Structure 1
Amino acid sequence: MTGPVVVGLDGSPASVTAAWWAAREARDRHLPVLLLHSWTTQPLDVPIAQEAFSRKRYGDQVLQRTEAELLHRYADLTVARELVSVPASQALLEHSERAGMLVLGSRAHGSVSSFLLGSISLHVLGLTQCPSITVRADEPVVEAGWGHPGAADRDEVVVGVQQVGPDADPLLEFAFTTAELHGAPVRVVKALPPSALVSPHALFTGQADSRYEVEERTRLAATLTPWREKFPEVLVEAHVAVGPAAQVLLSASGRGRLVVVGRRRHPAHYTWKLGPVAHAALHHLPCPIALVPHD
């Protein structure tokens, strides 16, 4: 991974928590951090005057204060600041073309409102060219760190794989790289559609037809083989279950320290869409969520 870790920053607790998470990740990956603030896209609840000068001054203060906090935590971190006048969504999407990852804050569990508000936030997440991570304001493991005993009950990198084969490679690369970096295991989740309950025995027991399940497990194992070989120190657990993909992923993510889901790239900036699995993860999972674009 190359390019800076770009953080959308507005001074709210959510965005500051995202900056802390991004700083630790950037330090561990030996990447610089870029703090980005759009003075024309500020939270509606920020008690500042509406004059342009006041808004610019507020933005500059937010950037300077956060930079100082990050350097106090990680003295060897490289941090840059950028105050822009273009809409935040435009600035973030432009930076995503050369960033290593993009990090946004989310105000609370069950909400995707953040540095960007509502549909704007989803618009950015649906169009970024690099992996994008959302971090909640109440994220408890930002302070704890990956190896801290207080975070022992959330120690996995969970990755949802909807299609085995080449389409899964960007997700698996991000998940395995992150897991190796932090000494964490990877849980690879594959949902079998309810239509897998095809035989009378399957309908009675609630388990997928054994032949179909064996075939899917074999395909998943084949997909994971090169990643196991490339990352021999990473423990891998394949999790296969019947049900809607979003439901299966949520159920399997109880120990997730980071959950990785995929998002298909879109050819035009005016076309964006997040699938049901990404929506469910963003709205319901308490841990940071990584959306990784793929073809």
Structure 2
Amino acid sequence: MGGSVVVGLDGTGNSLPAVRWGAEEAAARGLPLHFLHSWISQPLSIPIAQEAANKKRYGAEVLARAEAMAHELHPGIPVTTEQVSENAVDALVDRSRQATLMVLGSRGHGAIAGFLLGSVSLHVLGRTECPVVTVREEEAVAYGRPEVVVSAQEAGTTSEAVLNFAFAAAAAHHATLRAVRAWEPAVFVDLVPTAPPAGAPDAERETGEEKKLTDLLAPWRAEFPDVDVVEQVEPGRVAPVLLRACSQASLLVVGRRMQRTPMLLGPVVFAVLHHSFCPVAVVPRT
């Protein structure tokens, strides 16, 4: 299963967009596709009896349907399936150590019991060692709009994993890459926003941020010369700037800190996961 695209299936309608996305990603990148289902973590909304045998039988059907769909969408891609008796979070986090990418479905916007408060998705996103793409149930077509948006706030080596994933995704899908950098972001101290720092006039500050972005992207442009790159520097807080930039995108790529406590995910990641209308890739930063 090393280097595969792992798709976590919960057996609900949320799984279907994840199957499509996983199959598309595996085909585009030339990777094997692996479906995983935990029969002991099936949602309570699934209308089946609680006996273990019935849960396992239902799980086998879920995996068989996913495999059939993947082969129908992309004949010839290697597909494996796995039903486990361990907790879904633990199983997915364990498989992430060898995976190239993980794909999870979500319930979309709205209900308080939806994606952001789903314990499986939240804990997987906060603990995996590979990038995780979350796909809302209303996302019917993978990469329907040929643009990948990436947050380019971090400098130096902390940005490498995020930019590498974004450039590789754009290259695999022949998409434009839009690198977005927000300036004068709010600074939070004890969750209270403070005023932006005083200093150079706005024009000078924006010019400086533009240079930072250009310098940050230079080595990645050289490594991925066929990727068309758009640089976007915009005043404002990071999350609103990213959400505006990705309104017509196929994918938004953001980074997260490893071993973040007590919150598994930072406020920017929470905001884009909750409000973005396109799939979001959350990439662990080393």
Asked if residue 282 in structure 1 is aligned to residue 269 in structure 2, the reply is no
Q: Which residue in 1 is equivalent to 2:165?
A: 174
Q: Which residue in 2 is equivalent to 1:219?
A: 212
- Aligned AA (2:243): L
Map 1:104-115 to 2 at 5 A.
Answer: 104-110=104-110, 113=114
1:247-280 Cα deviation digits (max 9, x unpaired): 111111122111000011118xx86521111111
Structure 2 CA distance for aligned equivalents of residues 122 and 280 of structure 1? 13
- The alpha-carbon distance between structure 1 residues 283 and 236, as it changes in their structure 2 partners (threshold 3 A), is same
Structure 1 CA distance for aligned equivalents of residues 224 and 13 of structure 2? 36
Q: Which residue in 2 is equivalent to 1:292?
A: 283
Structure 2 CA distance for aligned equivalents of residues 93 and 136 of structure 1? 20
Asked if residue 162 in structure 1 is aligned to residue 153 in structure 2, the reply is yes
Q: Which residue in 1 is equivalent to 2:236?
A: 243
CA contact (8 A) 1:135 1:288 kept: yes
Secondary structure, aligned partner of 2:40: coil
Secondary structure, aligned partner of 1:157: strand
- The alpha-carbon distance between structure 1 residues 110 and 178, as it changes in their structure 2 partners (threshold 3 A), is farther
Structure 2 CA distance for aligned equivalents of residues 84 and 263 of structure 1? 28
Structure 1 CA distance for aligned equivalents of residues 85 and 117 of structure 2? 17
CA contact (8 A) 2:247 2:278 kept: no
Secondary structure, aligned partner of 1:256: coil
Overall identity of the aligned pairs, in %: 47
Deviation for aligned residue 1:11? 2.1
Structure 2 CA distance for aligned equivalents of residues 250 and 217 of structure 1? 19
Asked if residue 230 in structure 1 is aligned to residue 223 in structure 2, the reply is yes
Deviation for aligned residue 1:282? 0.8
Map 1:46-195 to 2 at 5 A.
Answer: 46-110=46-110, 113=114, 118-142=118-142, 146=143, 151=144, 154-194=145-185
Deviation for aligned residue 1:109? 3.0
CA contact (8 A) 2:254 2:269 kept: yes
Secondary structure, aligned partner of 1:48: coil
Structure 1 CA distance for aligned equivalents of residues 263 and 271 of structure 2? 17
Structure 1 CA distance for aligned equivalents of residues 119 and 43 of structure 2? 14
CA contact (8 A) 2:19 2:69 kept: no
- With normalisation by structure 1, the TM-score equals 0.87
Structure 2 CA distance for aligned equivalents of residues 121 and 212 of structure 1? 38
- Aligned AA (1:124): V
- With normalisation by structure 2, the TM-score equals 0.90
CA-atom RMSD in angstroms: 2.1
Structure 2 CA distance for aligned equivalents of residues 292 and 110 of structure 1? 25
- The alpha-carbon distance between structure 1 residues 9 and 117, as it changes in their structure 2 partners (threshold 3 A), is farther
- Aligned AA (1:45): S
- Aligned AA (1:136): R
Structure 2 CA distance for aligned equivalents of residues 190 and 41 of structure 1? 39
CA contact (8 A) 2:88 2:120 kept: no
Structure 1 CA distance for aligned equivalents of residues 6 and 152 of structure 2? 26
- The alpha-carbon distance between structure 1 residues 37 and 108, as it changes in their structure 2 partners (threshold 3 A), is same
Deviation for aligned residue 1:74? 1.8
- Aligned AA (1:238): E
Secondary structure, aligned partner of 1:54: helix
Secondary structure, aligned partner of 1:13: coil
Structure 2 CA distance for aligned equivalents of residues 28 and 124 of structure 1? 24
Asked if residue 266 in structure 1 is aligned to residue 255 in structure 2, the reply is no
Structure 2 CA distance for aligned equivalents of residues 126 and 110 of structure 1? 22
Count, aligned residues: 275
Which ranges of structure 1 fall in alignment gaps of 5 or more residues?
203-207
Structure 1 CA distance for aligned equivalents of residues 225 and 120 of structure 2? 40
- The alpha-carbon distance between structure 1 residues 113 and 60, as it changes in their structure 2 partners (threshold 3 A), is same
Deviation for aligned residue 1:215? 1.6
Which ranges of structure 2 fall in alignment gaps of 5 or more residues?
186-194
